[in-house]
Amino acid sequence: MRNWFAVGTQWGSLMVHGRMFRVSAMLATILSVGIAQGSGMTEAVPGEFLVKVKKTSELNTKKTMSLFGATEVRLVSQPQNIYLIKKNILERPEFAMRSLQADSNFEIVEPNYIYRANLMPNDPKLTDLWGLSNFAQKGGKAGVDVGAEKAWDIQTGSRDVVVAVIDTGMDYTHPDLAANAWVNMAELNGVAGVDDDGNGYVDDIHGYDFANNDADPMDDHGHGTHCSGTIGAKGNDGKGIVGVSWDVRIMAIKFLTAEGSGTLENAIKSIDYATAMGAHIQSNSWGGGAFTQLLKEAIERARDKNVLFVAAAGNETNDNDANPSYPASYDLPNIVSVAALDNAGKLAYFSNYGRTSVHVAAPGVDITSSVPKKIKAEGYDTWSGTSMAAPHVSGIAALLKANDSHAGYKEIKSKIIDSARSLGTLRNKVASNGIANAYYALSGEVPPLDMEDPYNWTTTAASAESAHPYKNNAAESFVVTVPGAKQVSIYFERFETERGYDVVEFVDSTGKVVGKWSGNHNGEFAPTVNGDTVTINLKSDGNVNGFGFIVTKAAFK
Q: What is the pLDDT of residues 261-275, one digit of tens each?
A: 999 999 999 999 999
Structural contact between residues 111 and 97, judged by C-beta atoms closer than 8 angstroms: yes
Maximum Cα interatomic distance, the chain, rounded to a whole number of Å: 82
Indicate if the pLDDT at residue 519 is higher than 80. yes
By mean pLDDT, which of 15-24, 321-330, 418-427 is the weakest?
A: 15-24
The residues that are catalytic are 167, 223, 387
The CA-based angle 461-427-229, given to 5 degrees, is: 165
pLDDT at 56: 66
Q: Half-sphere exposure of 75 toward its Cβ, with a 13 Å CA cutoff?
A: 9
Structural contact between residues 177 and 234, judged by C-beta atoms closer than 8 angstroms: yes
Indicate if the pLDDT at residue 101 is higher than 70. yes
By mean pLDDT, which of 127-136, 422-431, 457-466, 548-557 is the weakest?
A: 127-136
Indicate if the pLDDT at residue 119 is higher than 50. no
Residue among 206, 204, 224 nearest 214 (CA): 204
**What is the pLDDT confidence band of residue 16, given thresholds at 50, 70 and 90?**
very low
Q: How far is CA 186 from CA 105, 196, 216, 252, in A?
A: 38, 6, 16, 16
- Could you give the CA distance from residue 274 to residue 393 in angstroms, rounded to a whole number? 18
Q: How does the average pLDDT of the chain come out, rounded?
A: 89
**What is the pLDDT confidence band of residue 112, given thresholds at 50, 70 and 90?**
very high
Structural contact between residues 402 and 160, judged by C-beta atoms closer than 8 angstroms: yes
Amino acid type, 89: I
Indicate if the pLDDT at residue 124 is higher than 60. no
pLDDT tens digits, one per residue of 366-415: 999 999 999 999 999 999 999 999 999 999 999 999 999 999 999 999 99
Domain residue ranges in the chain: 9-117, 120-443, 454-556
Q: Which residues contact 279 (CB under 8 A, 6 or more apart)?
A: 162, 163, 164, 251, 307
Chain mean position to CA 151: 24
Mean pLDDT of 200-216: 97
Any idea of the CA torsion for 376, 377, 382, 384, to the nearest 10 degrees? 10
CATH T-level fold of 454-556: Jelly Rolls (2.60.120)
Amino acid type, 472: N
Structural contact between residues 170 and 225, judged by C-beta atoms closer than 8 angstroms: yes
Indicate if the pLDDT at residue 227 is higher than 70. yes
- Could you give the CA distance from residue 17 to residue 542 in angstroms, rounded to a whole number? 10
Q: Which architecture, in CATH terms, is 9-117?
A: 2-Layer Sandwich (3.30)
For 41-61, letters b (16+ CB in 10 Å) and e give bbbbbbbbbbbbbeeeeebee
**What is the pLDDT confidence band of residue 128, given thresholds at 50, 70 and 90?**
low
pLDDT at 41: 55
pLDDT at 200: 96
Indicate if the pLDDT at residue 100 is higher than 70. yes
pLDDT at 214: 97
Is cis: bond before 363, omega within 30 of 0? no
Indicate if the pLDDT at residue 122 is higher than 80. no
Mean pLDDT of 278-287: 98
Q: Which architecture, in CATH terms, is 120-443?
A: 3-Layer(aba) Sandwich (3.40)
- Could you give the CA distance from residue 350 to residue 420 in angstroms, rounded to a whole number? 21
pLDDT tens digits, one per residue of 478-491: 999 999 999 999 99
pLDDT at 22: 30
pLDDT tens digits, one per residue of 32-77: 233 333 334 578 999 999 999 987 677 777 777 788 888 899 999 9
Q: Which residues contact 115 (CB under 8 A, 6 or more apart)?
A: 255, 256, 261, 262, 263, 264, 267, 286, 287, 288, 289
Indicate if the pLDDT at residue 12 is higher than 90. no
Indicate if the pLDDT at residue 435 is higher than 50. yes
pLDDT tens digits, one per residue of 285-320: 999 989 999 999 999 999 999 999 999 999 999 999
